[in-house]
Amino acid sequence: MASIWKSYILPAFITILFSAFSILIALVLIRFSWFLRRTLEHLIKKYGRDTIVKFFLQGNFKGLIELFLLDLREKKSLRVRASQR
């Protein structure tokens, strides 16, 4: 029994677990990639490609996150202003 467990069931279980994990990571990456595409399109339209480049050069994706947060803050303040009218 022990040898069947070690030779077949455990490796199969690990393979299935690893595959599931890989698929999950792949799905997360694909989903994030879609989100990033949409966000970049919007940011390029709003700030221009050169601004994106400069922010990215200041800290890779951290630069992009900062620009994204800046955009969110602007949107939020616009919403606040609109609701105050």
Partner 1 sequence: MARIVLINPAPFIENDIEIKARQTSWPPLGLLYNGQILRQEGHEVKILDQDVSGYSSDEVMKWIKQKKPEILGLSPLTVSLESALQIAKMAKEWNEALIIVFGNILATLCYKQLLESYEFIDYCLRGETESTFPQFINTVTQAGDLQAILGLSYRKEGLIISNPAPPLNRNLDAIPIPDREALIDFDYKMGSHKFTILATSRGCPFKCKFCGVHLVSNSRGIWRPRSIKNVLSELQFLQSRGYEEFSFVDDCFTVNPKRTVQLCQKMRQEKIEMIWSCEGRIDQGTQEIFRTMYEANCHSLLLGIESANQRILDYYNKQITPEMSKKVISNVKKAGIENVAGLFVVGSPDETLSEIIHTLKFGLELDLTFIQYQLLHVLLGSEIWNEAVEKGLINEDKDWNRYLIAADIYPTAVKREIIENLINKAFIEFLARPKFLLKEVFRTAKSPYRLQNLFSLTEKKSKQEGR
Residue span binding partner 1 (CB under 8 A) among the ranges 2-10, 12-20, 24-32, 75-83: 24-32
d(CA 48, CA 76): 21
Residue 37 interacts with partner 1 (CB under 8 A): yes or no: yes
What value, to the nearest 5°, has the Cα angle with vertex 28 and ends 22 and 29?
Answer: 90
Residue among 4, 57, 80, 82 that touches partner 1 (CB under 8 A):
57
Residue span binding partner 1 (CB under 8 A) among the ranges 7-15, 16-24, 43-51, 76-84: 43-51
Measured from the CB atom, the residue of 15 and 58 that comes closer to partner 1 is 58
Helical (H) or strand (E) element with 50:
helix 49-57
d(CA 26, CA 44): 26
